[in-house]
Amino acid sequence: MNDYRMKAEQLYQNKEYEEALAAYNEAIRLSQPDPDPRLHYGRANTLKKLAEQAHITAQQRSVSLQTMTLAELTTYTEQEMRKYRRKEPSSDNYCLEIIRRAVVLRDGDAWAVLQRQFGENVRIWFGRHPSREAALRLDSEQSYIDDAFRRFWQAASEQQLAFHTRASALSYLHLCLNCAIMDALRASGVEKEPIPDYGQTDTDEPSVEDSYQESELWETIEALLPGEKEKRVAFLLYHCNLKPREVIRYCPGEFSGEEEIYRLKRNIMDRILHNADKIRWRLSGKEG
């Protein structure tokens, strides 16, 4: 144990923090159940240094992205998007920088690039929407796509939404398309579209980084919810990360007000909490 402690201290002095952390962890493991307090102190200092390094690296990466030309960002984004669709490890940073320039800096060229990058996704979503045929009797496909981007732009710029992943931006854009279709159908007197199939995943479009999109989990939760409104609110709040006032704004006429949203939210959480054991058993592959 002492050998690992001395090694860790030397590595720390040499600024080899990752190696030092591994040595401290091993020293603590060997000294169980009563490790020397100096080991925890050294480990804490090492973690602090690693955090500082990570912060500096993130700042440098941010500055580097901001100095890239839009053409360079576009090239890298296309490369990363192809990786993402093949389910390979990919970076969101280039795409997020384009979004920042388009929405925060109001760069028209960046906005045009963003529409080209995400346009195919919106076209796929529209093509598979359950109310596609009814919607097309009212307007063209391109009109709904344009409306989805308009809503995305207004919401992102006016509410200063911050997207931390490419998937979260795509999820919000998908919601904007659904709202555009729903509003058109409602205005024409056509019955609104059914609730989307939350558990369905599609290899032709990027998946959304949200635990509620995992089919087994959602099927379990969906079975606990008593009505269509509860399922709808669960989707909007937890899948789309909307706030109650945003639900009212993007789903006008569907709910009586924010109080109804909060009431339904409480009902949803009560059912989940009361059935926590059932959910755990289901996800663990056992039958309750």
Interatomic CA distance for residues 287 and 260, integer angstroms: 34
Across the range 99-110, mean pLDDT stands at 90
Instruction: Give residue-wise pLDDT tens across range 136-167.
Output: 999 999 999 999 999 888 877 766 666 778 88
Q: Which of 52-61, 75-84, 101-110, 266-275 has the lowest mean pLDDT?
A: 52-61
Contact by Cβ (8 Å): 193, 259: no
Higher pLDDT, 68 or 48: 68
With a CB cutoff of 8 Å and minimum separation 6, the contacts of 273 are none
Domain boundaries, the chain: 2-65, 68-188, 211-283
Packing angle, helices 141-158 and 93-103, rounded to 10: 80
Interatomic CA distance for residues 63 and 263, integer angstroms: 45
CA 267/CA 288 separation, integer angstroms:
22
d(CA 56, CA 46): 15
